[in-house]
């Protein structure tokens, strides 16, 4: 297993370099970071020319990529024409842990900007993922054990309707019902924006209260997909020969279901969860926008809108690295669940 993990990590290095190059070229061609420098007023021509030299944007794209990757402290040039070799905006490169500074939030390191938003996203997304996985496991297993029953047919219809709804419709509908209408009817209503009420402060109770609607909106669609997937894999496993053998031996139904069947049925589910977990770091773009949740999703969209390339690249590379790490962890869980799987 150790050799396998080391081999996978070594294979990930050229893959991540290729991903970073593609993303960097796309970002440099898709955005103009000097258009307004994150503000509302267009940048003056003289300021634009000066900033282009300072940020190294007058260099070829491959030189800009090298600046971003390994830093520009090695490239001393006379940028201002005074005869003195110097480097504006000196930085040490991503490979040395320096993702640069945000263009919108001038002077702030990218790691600091992302570090402020990442905990907010993790609170929201991890809560949603726990609810989705455990809730879908219960509903999916229960539906599989009662195939074609009234409950199974009713739940199938509800879940298909939920899965077909776009996330913005669910989010706006919950806001209209549980906030607008409940307030109109004189009932206790739920907040719709932010993480807490500024008048009360950032308390655990306030955060939990403000999380209810965003978590429900995120969980609803994924819960429908997960539960149907679990139901289908459980039905497939319950029809296997070894399950019939276990029943013929008189083993308890609970043991057959949760030890023999569910463990084997969980292998495909582990793949789905392993693919979803890295994406949680990127936040829920639509949901965070609608509920004004200060997370990674809003930061990513704001970064694209304002051409904040260092922040956007920092978020994308964080997700790329997370995908590689979580895929290795998924393979390890595979070997733990199924002793037949060997990676040596």
Residue pair 72/56 in contact by the 8 Å Cβ criterion: yes
pLDDT score, position 63? 83
Looking at the structure, tell me whether residues 120 and 74 fall in a common domain. Answer: no
Looking at the structure, tell me whether residues 130 and 66 fall in a common domain. Answer: no
Last residue of a domain, one of 55, 81, 102: 102
289 found inside a domain: yes
**Number of compact structural domains in the chain:** 2
Looking at the structure, tell me whether residues 225 and 94 fall in a common domain. Answer: no
139 found inside a domain: yes
Last residue of a domain, one of 47, 76, 102: 102
pLDDT score, position 284? 78
209 found inside a domain: yes
Is the model's pLDDT at 261 over the cut of 60? Answer: yes
pLDDT score, position 106? 64
Q: Greater confidence, 74 or 335? A: 335
Instruction: Choose the weakest-confidence range: 85-99, 202-216, 260-274, 309-323.
Output: 85-99
220 found inside a domain: yes
Is the model's pLDDT at 303 over the cut of 80? Answer: yes
* Mean pLDDT, residues 230-237 taken together: 86
77 found inside a domain: yes
Name the band, by pLDDT with cuts 50, 70 and 90, for residue 243. confident
Q: How many residues does the chain have?
A: 344
Name the band, by pLDDT with cuts 50, 70 and 90, for residue 213. very high
Question: Which residues make Cβ contacts (< 8 Å) with residue 123, sequence separation at least 6?
Answer: 207, 211
CATH number at residue 152: 1.10.3720.10
Looking at the structure, tell me whether residues 216 and 312 fall in a common domain. Answer: yes
70 found inside a domain: yes
Distance CA 23, CA 20 (A): 5
Looking at the structure, tell me whether residues 123 and 80 fall in a common domain. Answer: no
Most confident of 26-35, 90-99, 123-132: 123-132
Is the model's pLDDT at 343 over the cut of 70? Answer: no
* Mean pLDDT, residues 299-318 taken together: 86
Looking at the structure, tell me whether residues 59 and 173 fall in a common domain. Answer: no
Last residue of a domain, one of 75, 102, 129: 102
Is the model's pLDDT at 61 over the cut of 80? Answer: yes
326 found inside a domain: yes
Contacts 24+ apart (CB under 8 A), 63-70: 64/24, 64/28, 65/21, 65/24, 65/25, 67/91, 67/93, 68/24, 68/93, 68/94, 68/100, 68/313, 69/20, 69/93, 69/94, 69/95, 70/94, 70/95, 70/96
Looking at the structure, tell me whether residues 91 and 202 fall in a common domain. Answer: no
pLDDT score, position 181? 92
Looking at the structure, tell me whether residues 41 and 129 fall in a common domain. Answer: no
pLDDT (tens digit per residue) in 146-160:
888 888 888 888 888
Q: What pTM did the predictor assign?
A: 0.80
| CA within 13 Å, CB half, 41 | 5
Looking at the structure, tell me whether residues 44 and 168 fall in a common domain. Answer: no
344 found inside a domain: no
Residue pair 328/8 in contact by the 8 Å Cβ criterion: yes
Is the model's pLDDT at 77 over the cut of 60? Answer: no
Share of the chain above pLDDT 90, in %: 8
* Mean pLDDT, residues 226-243 taken together: 85
Q: Greater confidence, 94 or 88? A: 94
Q: Greater confidence, 38 or 44? A: 44
* Mean pLDDT, residues 222-231 taken together: 83
| CA within 13 Å, CB half, 93 | 15
Count each helix (H run) and each strand (E run) in the chain, helices first: 14, 0
Q: Is 77 helix (H, G, I), strand (E, B) or coil?
A: strand
Helices 204-238 & 167-175 angle (0-180, nearest 10): 140
Q: Is 160 helix (H, G, I), strand (E, B) or coil?
A: helix
Name the band, by pLDDT with cuts 50, 70 and 90, for residue 83. low
**What's the domain range around 253?**
111-337
Looking at the structure, tell me whether residues 94 and 127 fall in a common domain. Answer: no
Looking at the structure, tell me whether residues 286 and 315 fall in a common domain. Answer: yes
Structure tokens at 14: 């050229």
Looking at the structure, tell me whether residues 264 and 119 fall in a common domain. Answer: yes
Is the model's pLDDT at 203 over the cut of 60? Answer: yes
Q: Is 98 helix (H, G, I), strand (E, B) or coil?
A: coil
Structure tokens at 333: 């869980």
* Mean pLDDT, residues 31-54 taken together: 68
**Angstrom distances, CA of residue 85 to CA of 61, 76, 79, 248, 265:** 22, 5, 7, 84, 64
Count CB atoms within 10 A of the CB of residue 220: 20
Is the model's pLDDT at 49 over the cut of 80? Answer: no
Q: Greater confidence, 163 or 213? A: 213
């Amino acid at each position: 297993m150790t050799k396998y993990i080391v081999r996978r990590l070594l294979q990930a290095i050229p893959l991540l370099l290729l991903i970073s190059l593609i993303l960097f070229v796309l970002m440099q061609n898709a955005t103009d970071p000097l258009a307004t420098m994150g503000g509302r007023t267009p940048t003056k021509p003289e300021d634009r020319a000066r900033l282009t030299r300072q940020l190294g944007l007058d260099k070829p794209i491959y030189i800009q990529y090298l600046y971003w990757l390994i830093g520009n402290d090695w490239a001393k040039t006379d940028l201002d024409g005074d005869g003195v070799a110097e480097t504006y905006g000196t930085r040490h490169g991503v490979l040395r842990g320096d993702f640069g500074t945000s263009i919108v939030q001038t002077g702030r390191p990218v790691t600091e900007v992302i570090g402020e938003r990442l905990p907010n996203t993790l609170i929201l997304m991890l809560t949603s993922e726990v609810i989705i996985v455990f809730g879908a496991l219960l509903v999916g297993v229960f539906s599989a054990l009662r195939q074609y029953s009234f409950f199974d047919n009713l739940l199938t219809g509800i879940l298909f309707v939920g899965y077909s709804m776009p996330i913005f419709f669910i989010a706006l509908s919950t806001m209209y019902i549980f906030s607008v209408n409940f307030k109109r009817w004189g009932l206790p209503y739920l907040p719709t924006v932010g993480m807490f009420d500024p008048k009360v402060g950032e308390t655990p109770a306030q955060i939990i209260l403000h999380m209810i609607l965003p978590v429900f909106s995120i969980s609803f669609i994924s819960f429908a997909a997960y539960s149907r997937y679990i139901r289908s894999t459980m039905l497939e496993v319950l029809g296997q020969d070894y399950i019939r053998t276990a029943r013929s031996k008189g083993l308890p139904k609970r043991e057959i279901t949760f030890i023999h069947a569910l463990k084997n049925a969980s292998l495909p589910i582990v793949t789905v969860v392993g693919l979803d977990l890295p994406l949680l770091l990127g936040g829920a773009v639509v949901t965070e926008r609608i509920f004004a949740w200060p997370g990674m999703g809003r930061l990513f969209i704001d970064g694209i809108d304002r051409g904040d390339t260092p922040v956007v690249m920092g978020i994308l590379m964080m997700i790329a690295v997370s995908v590689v790490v979580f895929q290795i962890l998924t393979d390890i869980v595979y070997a733990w669940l199924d002793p037949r799987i060997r990676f040596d």
